[in-house]
Amino acid sequence: MTATTWARRVTDGVEPKNVIIAVLPLVGALRYGWTGLGWALFAALFAAVIPTWFIRRGMRKGQWEDRHVGRRQRRLVVIPFIMLSVLTSFAVMLWADAPDDMTAMVLAMFAALVPIMVITVWWKVSIHTAVASGAVVCLAIALGAWWLLLYPLVVVIGWSRVVLRDHTRAQTVAGALVGAVSAGLTFWYAR
C-alpha cells in the first residue's frame, strides 16, 4: 500500500466529524452516564451531523468539490454555517442546564472555530489537526492526562494532510496549535 493510500485512509477515517462523534459521547458517558451520553449525542448532531449534511448538500449543488472543502475560499461559507450550528447547540444546552463538561466542550468547539475562521480569510489552516488536537487536550482535561498519549495521532493526521498535498506542514502545525490552545483554554475555564 502506498503512502498516499494510507494518507487518504487516515484523512477520511479521522476527519473532524468522526473525531467529534467519538469524543463527545466518550466524555459524556464517562463523566455523566446516560444523561451525558444523551447531551453528547445532541451536541454531535449540531457539531458534526448538521455540518456534514450542509457540506454534502453543497457538494451536490457543485458549490465545493469534496467533503473536506479543499478550497480556502469555499471554507469561508462552510465555517460560518458550522459556527452557527455549534452556537445553536451551545445556547440550547446552556438554557436547558446541560452538564457542565458537555456545555464546555461545545463552547470549546466554537472557540476553536473563531481563530480558524479569521486565519482562513488569508491562509488555509488545517481543520483536521485543529479538531484532533483540541479533542486530545479536552480529553486530557476532562478525563486525565493519560489521554495526551493520543497526541501522536495528531501528528499522523498532519502527515496525511501533507502527503495528500491538502496542506503544508506549517498549516497542519498551525491548526494543531490553534485547536489545542483555543479549545483547551476555553474548555478549562468554562467547565
**What is the percent of the chain with per-residue pLDDT over 70, rounded to a whole number?**
100
Q: What would the grid cell of residue 189 be?
A: 475555564
**Which of 36-50, 52-66, 130-144, 145-159 is the least confident region?**
52-66
**Which of 36-50, 53-67, 73-87, 145-159 is the least confident region?**
53-67
Q: Is the pLDDT of residue 135 over 90?
A: yes
Give residue for cell 493519560: 146
Nearest to 118, CA basis, from 93, 83, 168, 88: 83
Q: What is the mean pLDDT of residues 55-71?
A: 88
Instruction: State residue 79's pLDDT score.
Output: 97
In sequence order, what are the residues at sequence separation of 6 or more whose Cβ sits closer than 8 angstroms to the Cβ of residue 85? Answer: 46, 47, 50, 51, 54
Mean pLDDT value across the chain: 96
pLDDT band at 156 (very low <50, low <70, confident <90, very high): very high
> Rg for the chain (alpha carbons), in Å?
16
Q: What is the mean pLDDT of residues 43-53?
A: 98
Instruction: State residue 161's pLDDT score.
Output: 97
Q: What is the mean pLDDT of residues 145-163?
A: 98
Nearest to 42, CA basis, from 21, 63, 57, 72: 21
Q: What pTM was estimated for this model as a whole?
A: 0.95
Instruction: State residue 70's pLDDT score.
Output: 80
